[in-house]
Structure 1
Amino acid sequence: MFIANAWYVAAWSHEVAPDALFSRVITGVPVLLYRKDDGSTVALEDRCCHRGAPLSVGRREGDCVRCMYHGLKFDSAGTCVEAPSQQRIPPRAKVKSYPTVERHRWIWIWMGDPALANPDAIPDTHWLDDPAWSSLPGYIHYHVNYLLICDNLLDFSHLPFVHPTTLGGSEDYANVQPKVERIENGVRITRWVMDTDAPPFAAAVKQWPGKVDRWNIYDFTLPAILRMDSGMAPAGTGAREGTRVDAAEFRGCQALTPETENSTHYFFGHPHNFAIDQPDITRSIHQSVVDAFDEDREIITAQQKNLALDPDFEMSPFGIDSALSQFRWAVKERLENERHARQESVQEALHDQG
């Protein structure tokens, strides 16, 4: 079960090209994405209401799409506007449409009640297209439940062990207890490691005079969005007090979108604000992140396979699990609230019918 009333990332902007049909399964629902002639995005259930064929193997006709099984034509709101050899179109001949917003190179989709889809609730990820920052778009497909990836992102003590040659750095990073705070819709994690070695990915793109002071400060909010202020500066130059001298700064933007109960779309960018006129630096940073996330995928996939062998296995909690425990509680609470809201809606409908 997934949170419905939330903004999910459906695609990078470049994935949905003009005059093309793009399909992706989101929270167990097949979704068709395309652009109207004015460039705005459309999201429809990728399942014709007639016989369930995917509209994504159909064809664009202006702002409409035609199912290429029996020829039904749907407008951008999902209403059937034409059925070959049939003058009268049944009023129920519709496919579900979903609100979308394109912002900072990501296309966001609302899978729940359209009346609750407030674009102002979309998290700020402006670093992805801010000219003062540079990054490349990233996407990884996981064959695991999205919450296991959330767990990984909520506990960075794994960095020195899973990513020793990329994002990790020395093992003293794992010995620092982060500060965990509850915020609206999620948690905020703050971790400082003072007088440590620069991690390999940062040492490869910037010269350091010696040790560094390193920070990771990030919000992880429902449904599964990470926005991170991270970086490092020469040790003892006052970074923790707010003075970032000769620093390497990053603004990580990551979004997990459940595909099914056992698969996940992972969108990410790792913008940096130094050497932005040097594309080789951007490519190097991006590749280090890709390599590290592939390392995450390997261990998390192995974890899921192991867990599947014993559905009754209970994980043993440790102190380092504070953030992920709080986030899972927030997910559970939101799901419970949505379940109650659905029950109340059904009861009201039955009462009106009576």
Structure 2
Amino acid sequence: MSPDERQKAFDDAVAFVYKAYPQMDGRGQLYDHWAECNYYQQHVINLADSFMEEHRASKSFRATWKFCELVNQSQRFLYETNLMNDLKKLCEINTIAVDTLDEADRRDDLKASVLSHQANLYESIGKVDQAIEWNQQAYQIRLNQKPPKYHLISSFENNLGFCYNTANKHDTAFEYFKKAEATWHGQGLPCPVVILKNMARGLLYLKRLDEARALLKTCIDGFRNEDTLNWAMVAYSAYFALGLIDRREGKFESAEATFIEAQNLWLKGDLKELHPFNGACMYKTGAVCLDQGKVEAAIKHLRDSIKVTEKHMKLMPVEHARSLFKLSEALTQDPQYESEAEGFRDKAEKNLRERDPSATDFGSEEPYDLLIPIFWR
């Protein structure tokens, strides 16, 4: 085929897959469409590979906005399902593709979206400073757009908030959540529940536990009153955070039930069992079982957690280290497991040092928690 024929064939294939691939809902999420996204995902990857092959062969080969938007939708799916290597690859390709677009408005929109997904990726794997930098770049793009797209400005204020939470800068995080809320109120609109639940979690890390609990319960009611239950957000932030509050207040039995409820909500459907959040739910359940002296139950939950965290050990060593550390604590309660406990403790320290070579404190949950993304900390 001639170069023009190759361009047309590529654009036609993109248009076909673009029409079939699920679109993000009004919340910018794809949680209810994972099975469909997964079905079409290989087609998106093949198109992305084809684009790079053609672009390397001829700099005149260009992307269409449909291609960039299709890859953008796919990026969201990959982030939600924690397929980080594929996400990194598609973000890099989309960055190149976006630069070939002629339409300035669409180019800016898509550039901000790619930066957002790159930030999500890096926050998830513990490189939060880079995540904040990319979110700030995208935030400036949104602030400079005319007319202002307030819902997108608010989205980046929210993103910066949870990234600063992960960076353990909780006062700054809360300032961004308040900005996100004010952006909506400035338009005479109520703040979306998805932002309020992040604000509630921010209150938790500011040690304002009563306020956090009250707002989380309001958010759960808000989620349950929506036309379609946002099960992921209810599990991720609402029930999981309530469990954290219960544990801090010494309500271990209630915390155990709440972490189990978070996990049950999360596991509605396919593709979720190996997600780090599922591992975190099992970890927290095991931890509060140990708080109650339920050693056998703690060991079971923590062993189950390790089966998940070891799948992500290369990119997320601290999650695995945390589960190993807590399992070693549980095993030391039974003399028959003394040798096994020591081995798990050594592995935990080794994995923690992979993320933080200067680490010297290995004897509590805190040094592990401080390096884990806020959604499953």
TM-score by length of 1: 0.26
The structure whose Rg is larger is: 1
Q: Greater strand percent: which structure?
A: 1
Q: Greater helix percent: which structure?
A: 2
